[in-house]
C-alpha cells in the first residue's frame, strides 16, 4: 500500500482529479460506494496508461448495504462500476449497522477475498470494541482501520490498539478540510518554507499513518504529494501533538462510538 493516498470524497469530477493525481505521483486512490464515483475512478485508471497492478484502489460499503447477501452483491456491483477484476482494499465504511450485520458483512468480505475479488479487507470508523468484536468472532483481524485523524482529533486509544495489533491506520481529513490557519501550523510551515497542508501530511506520515488528503485543485493535488524531501523535527512534532482536543476536535461524522 502506498503511504500517501488520494481521497475522492465529495469529488464530482473524480476522473480528472485522479488523472491529475496520477501525474503528480499518487498511486493510491480512496473511493467508496457512498461517494458515487467508483466508475469515474475506474475510467481514470484506464485512461492513465498505468498498469493496474501498480495502483492501489480502495472502496467501502456503507451501513445501509451491510449484511451478508447485500455485501456479496455490493462487491460485484463495485467491481462492475470500476470495471476491475479486483479491488485492492475493501473497507466496511462504518460500524452503524449493529454487531450482527457488521460481522455478516465482514464474513462476506472475507469470502470475496478468498475468491480473489478483494486483495485486502479492512474497516473504517471502528473503535476498539468493534475491532475486538471481530477478534472474538474468530475472524482474521482487519488489515486496515481508516479513521478521522489529524492534530485536533488524534484518536489515541484506537491508534494505540491498531499499532499493537499490526493494523494499518489510514487518516481521513488529514488536512482538517483546509482549516489550517492555526499558529502552530503556519509557523512550522514558515520555518520549513512549506504549505501548512504539507506540514499536516508530513506529521501524519511521521506518526506512521497513511494520510488521504483530498483536493480537486491541480496545484493542491501536486503540492500535497511533495512531502518526502523534508522532515519535521522533534520540537515540530511535539508542538503539533499538543493540539489534540479528543472527540471535540472531530470535524466529520466520526461514528466511532456506535453501539
Distance CA 127, CA 95 (A): 9
Torsion of CA 84, 24, 216, 88, to 10 degrees: 30
Given the residues 9, 26, 35, 86, select the one marked as catalytic: 35
Please name which of 28, 87, 22 lies closest in space to residue 60, comparing C-alpha atoms.
Answer: 87
Residue 93 is assigned to a ligand binding site: yes
For 223-248, give the DSSP string.
HHT--SS----HHHHHHHHTT--GGG
Q: What H or E segment, with its residue span, contains residue 57? A: strand 56-61
Q: Please state, in angstroms and rounded to a whole number, the distance separating the CA atoms of residues 71 and 157.
A: 29
126 part of the active site: no
Of the candidates 76, 63, 69, 180, the one whose C-alpha atom is nearest the C-alpha of residue 118 is 76
Which of 150, 175, 147 has its CA nearest to residue 163?
Answer: 147
Binding site listing for substrate:
93
Q: What amino acid positions are annotated as catalytic residues?
A: 35
Amino acid at each position: 500500500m502506498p503511504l500517501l493516498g488520494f481521497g475522492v470524497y465529495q469529488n464530482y469530477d473524480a476522473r480528472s482529479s485522479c488523472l491529475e493525481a496520477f501525474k503528480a505521483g499518487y498511486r493510491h486512490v480512496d473511493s467508496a460506494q457512498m461517494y458515487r464515483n467508483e466508475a469515474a475512478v475506474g475510467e481514470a485508471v484506464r485512461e492513465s496508461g498505468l498498469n493496474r497492478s501498480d495502483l492501489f484502489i480502495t472502496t467501502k460499503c456503507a451501513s445501509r448495504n451491510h449484511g451478508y447477501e447485500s455485501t456479496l452483491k455490493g462487491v460485484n456491483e463495485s467491481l462492475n462500476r470500476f470495471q476491475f477484476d479486483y479491488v485492492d482494499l475493501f473497507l466496511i465504511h462504518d460500524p452503524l449497522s449493529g454487531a450482527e450485520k457488521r460481522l455478516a458483512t465482514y464474513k462476506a468480505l472475507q469470502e470475496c477475498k478468498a475468491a480473489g475479488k478483494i486483495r485486502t479487507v479492512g474497516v473504517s470508523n471502528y473503535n476498539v470494541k468493534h475491532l475486538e468484536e471481530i477478534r472474538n468472532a474468530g475472524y482474521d483481524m482487519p488489515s486496515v482501520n481508516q479513521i478521522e485523524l489529524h492534530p485536533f482529533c488524534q484518536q489515541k486509544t484506537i491508534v494505540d490498539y491498531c499499532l499493537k495489533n499490526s493494523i494499518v491506520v489510514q487518516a481521513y481529513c488529514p488536512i482538517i478540510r483546509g482549516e489550517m490557519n492555526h499558529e502552530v501550523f503556519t509557523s512550522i510551515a514558515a520555518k520549513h518554507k512549506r504549505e501548512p497542508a504539507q506540514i499536516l501530511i508530513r506529521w501524519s506520515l511521521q506518526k506512521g499513518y497513511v494520510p488521504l488528503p483530498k483536493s480537486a485543485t491541480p496545484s493542491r493535488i501536486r503540492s500535497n504529494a511533495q512531502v518526502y524531501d523534508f522532515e519535521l523535527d522533534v520540537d515540530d512534532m511535539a508542538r503539533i501533538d499538543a493540539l489534540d482536543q479528543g472527540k471535540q476536535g472531530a470535524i466529520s461524522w466520526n461514528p466511532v462510538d456506535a453501539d
